[in-house]
Amino acid sequence: VPDAGAAQRIAGRIHRDITRPMKATGDGSIEVGASLGVAFKTSARTAPGNGASPAGPLLGRATVALRRAQRSGGGIYVDDEES
């Protein structure tokens, strides 16, 4: 993903597809709500010097982003800040 804007657009398409009402048997339909948290890493830095995986902090930020999306009533939250 080239930038945070592209990440937001992709997350928007995923959210739209997940939350689209679905036909159920008969005249019924099923509606699903969803929250998406996205953490975007802008630098090309690799693993820290201690050999730890750079995925740990990124996953932590994604978890925080998910919680923010949930607290706002669902939808998408993208964290594009470098940390």
Kindly list the distances between the CA atom of residue 2 and the CA atoms of 5, 45, 55, 82, in Å, as whole numbers in the listed order.
8, 15, 18, 15
**Whether 30 contacts 22, CB under 8 Å:** yes
Dmax over CA atoms of the chain, in Å, equals: 59
Rounded to two decimals, what is the model's pTM? 0.73
Tokens for 68, please give them: 């923010």
**43-60 confidence digits (pLDDT tens):** 655 555 556 666 788 899
Give the pLDDT confidence score for residue 4 in this predicted structure: 84
End-to-end CA distance of the chain: 18
Give the pLDDT confidence score for residue 65 in this predicted structure: 95
Q: Which residue has the tokens 């929250």?
A: 35
Q: Which residue has the tokens 């201690």?
A: 50
Which parts of the chain register pLDDT below 70? 42-54, 82-83
Give the pLDDT confidence score for residue 40 in this predicted structure: 82
Give the pLDDT confidence score for residue 82 in this predicted structure: 55
